[in-house]
Amino acid sequence: MSERTVRVRFAPSPTGPLHIGGVRTALYNYLFARKHGGKMILRIEDTDQTRFVKGAEEYIMDAFDWCGIDFDESLVKGGDYGPYRQSDRKELYAKYAQQLIDNNKAYYAFDSPEELNELRAKSESEGGVFTYSSANRDDLNNSENIGIDAAKAKIESGEPFVIRFKMPKNQELAMTDIVRGDVLVNTSTLDDKILFKSDGMPTYHMANIVDDHLMEISHVIRGEEWLPSMPLHIMLYKAFEWEAPEFAHLPLLLKPKGNGKLSKRDGDKLGFPVFPTQWVNAEGEKSMGYREEGYFPQAFLNMLALLGWNPGTEQEIFTMDDLIQSFSLERVNKSGARFDPEKAKWFNHQYMLETNNADIAEEYSLILDKKNINYDKELLVKIIGLVKERANFVNDLWEQSYFFFEAPTEYDAKTVKKRWKEHTPAMMQDLLEVIKSIDDFSSANTEKLIKAWIEEKELSMGQVMNAFRLSIVGAGKGPHMFDIIEIIGKQETLNRISKAIDTIKR
Ligand code: GLU
């Protein structure tokens, strides 16, 4: 690693909600910065005004707040290298473009969109692809062809122009990417990219390089889709005679099945979120978010950390501190990482098991309050301890525990058919009498006495317990029966058994 102070950035364009691939990029930047005692910067790249989406910038910041990735420098935090939004830096790019023109590294071009379309169509009809490059720039409408004075006269007369990078001809460019290793490109295969647009705004390439330089970025860690831009970016650093950062291009996130990039549309199509938090577009259409689906932010980040990076061990559950300790760009995989929605749930389940029951109770109580359910706080913590192993999310807890709070109003038909036989009501009546006689209603004591009764009467344990469960829960599920009745209490247990005897019809 170079000796530079580590300064990394996440540089989203506010063109919509943040894809989880973007969150993963931010996470890897964050882990790298924290590991090396460096700084993590959030820079909003909004030079393309045509793609601006209202609310996207706020969305991005809120999503990071939720998942717990904090930035050292940003719009909100401020910092010594601001402004941190490119549209607020608009004025400063022109002088760098001018510097390239003055040093013969860039040129003015006047080709109209119509002219370029015609050239493209012509190349296509001949089976080729048009690129604006060292091979043809001398024949096109630019200052390289007509001369700088003629070009300046055109500009003065108000003719629209762009500034293009003058990609050198036939140079072997050797580059190193931390993830992919050595990459070799001949510059003749690269085109003369536009750096400055006719609307007076820099393009992504220009603004990105100038800002990374001015913000003293040491490592550019970003998605694989930017790998093809690396040669241009390195050539720009050379043209400016600036020290280039090191680059690391992260593998794509792939669809759960089949090949291809996990797209923004996949989530709603396949029923899992691809965004950290819910997004509502201008038409009011909602896209699911991990937050709203009930994921713990730490589980979400833990899951993302392992999509494209491997610790080299079997360990899967990492605290943020563990991740910071273990993370290295050298262990980022080259090949794409398949997203697995079931595994995402598994991670949340693991965090559910790890999380303190009192903390889960805090969240669960919000759901209970909405349902107007009364509960005792201490009992709630106990109930969570009994059922959480059956839940992936706090949102699942109701389904696994409603019977602690209210008597069943209906009985699952399949379970009735299987577990409620002709002789069952009489058997439940006997059980009712046994329960009436029990004073110490602790789980251990009811278990001892009821089991002793079953044995003494030579009844089938399965038949009694299944019908008992159906009466209390309304279905064939739930934790240990004697734990349930300890919590609901003797009177409620008796009521539910009586009600079942009266209402269950085979
Ligand atoms: N604004 C670019 C994006 O939206 C940033 C790419 C980079 O990190 O250089 O992904």
**222/319 Cα distance (integer angstroms):** 23
Binning pLDDT at 50, 70 and 90, where does residue 244 land? very high
Take atom 5 of ligand 1 and give the residue whose Cα is closest: 11
How far away, in angstroms, is 274 Cα from ligand 1 center?
18
| Phi, psi torsion values for 165, nearest 5 degrees | -75, 135
Give, for ligand 1, the residue of 48, 57, 86, 222 to mutate: max count of ligand atoms closer than 8 Å to Cβ. Answer: 222
> For ligand 1, is residue 226 a contact (CB within 6 Å)?
yes
CB atoms within 10 A of CB 433: 10
Which of 34-48, 247-261, 326-340, 356-370 shows the lowest per-residue confidence on average (mean pLDDT)?
A: 247-261
Q: What is the mean pLDDT of the chain?
A: 95
Binning pLDDT at 50, 70 and 90, where does residue 1 land? low
Residue 354 has pLDDT above 90, yes or no: yes
Give, for ligand 1, the residue of 205, 208, 250 to mutate: max count of ligand atoms closer than 8 Å to Cβ. Answer: 208
Residue 265 has pLDDT above 90, yes or no: no
**242/218 Cα distance (integer angstroms):** 12
Tens-place pLDDT, residues 281-303:
989 999 999 999 999 999 999 99
> For ligand 1, is residue 19 a contact (CB within 6 Å)?
no
Tens-place pLDDT, residues 399-446:
999 999 999 999 999 999 999 999 999 999 999 999 999 999 999 999
CB atoms within 10 A of CB 458: 6
**Helix H or strand E segment including 367:** helix 357-370
pLDDT of residue 2: 60
Residue 329 has pLDDT above 70, yes or no: yes
Give, for ligand 1, the residue of 29, 226, 227, 261 to mutate: max count of ligand atoms closer than 8 Å to Cβ. Answer: 226
How far away, in angstroms, is 415 Cα from ligand 1 center?
55
Binning pLDDT at 50, 70 and 90, where does residue 110 land? very high
Higher pLDDT, 267 or 201: 201
What predicted TM-score, i.e. pTM, was given to this entire model? 0.91
**187/305 Cα distance (integer angstroms):** 35
Take atom 10 of ligand 1 and give the residue whose Cα is closest: 12
> For ligand 1, is residue 500 a contact (CB within 6 Å)?
no
Give, for ligand 1, the residue of 9, 10, 13, 247 to mutate: max count of ligand atoms closer than 8 Å to Cβ. Answer: 13
pLDDT of residue 498: 97
Can you read off the two tokens belonging to residue 107? 């040129």
> For ligand 1, is residue 251 a contact (CB within 6 Å)?
no
- Atom of ligand 1 at shortest range from CA of 10: 8
First to last CA, the chain: 74
- Atom of ligand 1 at shortest range from CA of 15: 4
CB atoms within 10 A of CB 17: 24
Binning pLDDT at 50, 70 and 90, where does residue 195 land? very high
Mean pLDDT of the region 53-77: 95
> For ligand 1, is residue 16 a contact (CB within 6 Å)?
no
Domains with residue ranges and CATH for the chain: 7-75+206-254 (3.40.50.620), 91-205 (3.90.800.10), 266-352 (1.10.1160.10), 355-402 (1.10.8), 413-503 (1.10.10.350)
47 SS3 class: coil
Residue indicated by tokens 């038949």: 463
**358/499 Cα distance (integer angstroms):** 33
- Atom of ligand 1 at shortest range from CA of 13: 4
Environment class of residue 27 by beta-carbon count within 10 Å: exposed (0-12), middle (13-18) or buried (19+)?
buried
Tens-place pLDDT, residues 3-12:
789 999 999 9
> For ligand 1, is residue 12 a contact (CB within 6 Å)?
yes
Per-residue DSSP letter, 261: B
> For ligand 1, is residue 424 a contact (CB within 6 Å)?
no
127 SS3 class: coil
Bridge partners of residue 131, in order along the sequence: none
pLDDT of residue 381: 98
Can you read off the two tokens belonging to residue 229? 């831009």
Torsion of CA 467, 472, 475, 476, to 10 degrees: -60
Environment class of residue 131 by beta-carbon count within 10 Å: exposed (0-12), middle (13-18) or buried (19+)?
middle
> For ligand 1, is residue 24 a contact (CB within 6 Å)?
no
Mean pLDDT of the region 201-209: 95
Contact 27, 305 (CB under 8 A): yes
Q: What sign has the CA pseudo-torsion 70, 75, 77, 78?
A: positive
**435/429 Cα distance (integer angstroms):** 10
Residue 143 has pLDDT above 90, yes or no: yes
Give 471's contacts (C-beta < 8 A, 6+ positions apart): 428, 496, 497, 499, 500, 501, 504
**77/82 Cα distance (integer angstroms):** 10
Per-residue DSSP letter, 156: H
Question: What amino acid positions are annotated as catalytic residues?
Answer: 264
> For ligand 1, is residue 208 a contact (CB within 6 Å)?
yes
| Nearest C-alpha neighbor of 491 from the set 428, 407, 393, 427 | 407
How far away, in angstroms, is 11 Cα from ligand 1 center?
5
Q: What sign has the CA pseudo-torsion 272, 276, 281, 284?
A: positive
Take atom 3 of ligand 1 and give the residue whose Cα is closest: 12
pLDDT of residue 305: 98
**76/83 Cα distance (integer angstroms):** 10
How far away, in angstroms, is 164 Cα from ligand 1 center?
20
How far away, in angstroms, is 42 Cα from ligand 1 center?
11
Residue 258 has pLDDT above 80, yes or no: no
**Helix H or strand E segment including 35:** helix 20-35
CB atoms within 10 A of CB 399: 11
Binning pLDDT at 50, 70 and 90, where does residue 220 land? very high
Write the secondary structure of 311-342 as one string of H (helix), E (strand) and C (coil).
CCCCCCCCCHHHHHHHCCHHHECCCCEECCHH
> For ligand 1, is residue 86 a contact (CB within 6 Å)?
no
> For ligand 1, is residue 45 a contact (CB within 6 Å)?
yes
How far away, in angstroms, is 290 Cα from ligand 1 center?
23
- 443-449, long-range: CB < 8 A, 24+ apart: 443/480, 443/482, 443/483, 443/485, 443/486, 444/482, 446/482, 446/485, 446/486, 447/482
> For ligand 1, is residue 9 a contact (CB within 6 Å)?
no
**Helix H or strand E segment including 445:** helix 443-456
> For ligand 1, is residue 222 a contact (CB within 6 Å)?
yes
